[in-house]
Amino acid sequence: MLTPSASQQQPRFGSRISDAWTEISVVMRKVYLDHSATTPIDSRVLEAMLPYLTEKFGNASSVHMFGQEARAAVDKARRQVASLVGARANEVVFTSGGTEANNLAIRGICEVAKAHGRHVITSAIEHPSVRGVVDEIEKEGWEITRLPVYDNGIVRIDDLRAAIRSDTILISVMTANNEIGTNQPIAEIGALVVEEREHGHRHLCFHTDAVQAAGRLPIDVQALGCDLLSLSAHKIYAPKGTGALFIRRGVRLAPQQVGGHQERERRAGTESVANIVAFGTAAELAKKEMDQRNDHTRRLRDRFETEVEDRIPDIVFNGDREQRLPHLSNISFRFIEGEGLLIHLDMQGVAVSTGSACSSGTLEPSPVIRALGRNEELARGAIRFSFGKDSTDEDVDYAVTALLRAVESLRELSPLSRKSLVAN
């Protein structure tokens, strides 16, 4: 870690943290602020799943007592996950995660409904697991409309209404964005789809990726009017490797994984009983504790943003600051590469992200930030901070101090930053 010498010019905010350079190096702690990427397993969730990794090891498809014990556990978990989103238990299909759920929803509908049209509408800021499959079907001849989100990161209903055509068979718009946290007008989209069906557009379906929103926003699939909704366990304090797709009763879609009769023949493969049990327990806890968790993370997030805004110049907040998830903050730092800032923070024990964990490693600036109209500098300088139910005020204090130190160090090395300081 580089430290400025006495002869080097300090940025105008450097005087406020003159003692921080030595303080952090003396006492370093680990601060996890990447809960949108994944969450730690809740101890209560771990306790619930452990028996199904040891003595309750049966295959849920087996007819003997070991298998039926596992089947009962899966059925209970299905009811728990369904309750989180206001669905019926038999409308929930377990998958390997949110990515598979999104692929099953989009490809499954497109393959069944292609005789009625080959046009899909989505948004410009979808998760890579939606964006990727949409890009693939576009190569196969499907027409795709990607709705803009403007500077606040929110789809406009008028744009969607104008984009719907007689051959549109699917609308896929996420419930809340994974990078900037903006909440989309899902209930309004659902109402528009119902209206379209009433006017004869009966093959139109509506899918929403609720992976980031579930457990953080109240979700009722009946009120939202969606036909398909994707979920993932590891965003709500359960293990990675399990997700779910809500499929409204009566909606037909083509299975993407075949070779078995599991999940009512909508997704073949032996169920991961222990992980499904964990998902169910986590869903039940998320529903019960949602308000408490949201109040806690929102308070920490807002305090963090206030501190950063007050102490670091040349920053830009990304996305609407009201219509967003309560735990997430996305900030662009001018004159800095986000990857460099992430590394500096990691060296000080603070874990953050430059965007979606599913697109980490790419050298391209975030398409989500670019979709807001930000230039490449701001897109490359964007960092996502996401708080969790176990985050503390001490975590905020440490993270802010570490961030100040990292920004100061990187801007010392930036010729653009020095040019800006001279101009001011």
List active site positions: 358
Among all chains, which residue has been given the structure tokens 């990292």? 406
Q: In what order do the strands lie in the sheet with 328-333?
A: 315-317, 328-333, 382-386
Spatial contact of 189 and 173, defined as CB atoms under 8 Å apart: yes
Buried b (16+ CB within 10 A) or exposed e, 224-263: bbbbbbbbbbbbbbbbebbbbbbbbeebebebbbeeeebb
Helix (H, G, I), strand (E, B) or coil at 291: helix
Number of CB atoms found within 10 A of residue 96's CB: 17
Parallel/antiparallel/unpaired status of strands 92-95 and 243-247: antiparallel
Map residue 142 onto helix, strand or coil. Answer: coil
User: E strands of 57-185, at which residues?
Assistant: 92-95, 119-123, 143-147, 168-172
The tokens for 314 are 């040349």
In 3D space, the residue among 46, 105, 30 whose CA is nearest the CA of residue 281 turns out to be 46
The residues with which 119 forms a beta bridge, in sequence order, are 143, 168
DSSP-derived 3-state class of residue 176: strand
In total, the chain counts a number of residues equal to 424
In 301-345, beta strands by DSSP E: 315-317, 328-333
Bridge partners, residue 92, by sequence: 246
Write the DSSP symbol of residue 405.
H
The residue among 316, 384, 381, 323 whose CA lies nearest residue 180 is: 384
Q: Is the dihedral of CA 235, 237, 238, 239 positive or negative?
A: positive
Nearest to 320 by CA among 309, 312, 329: 329
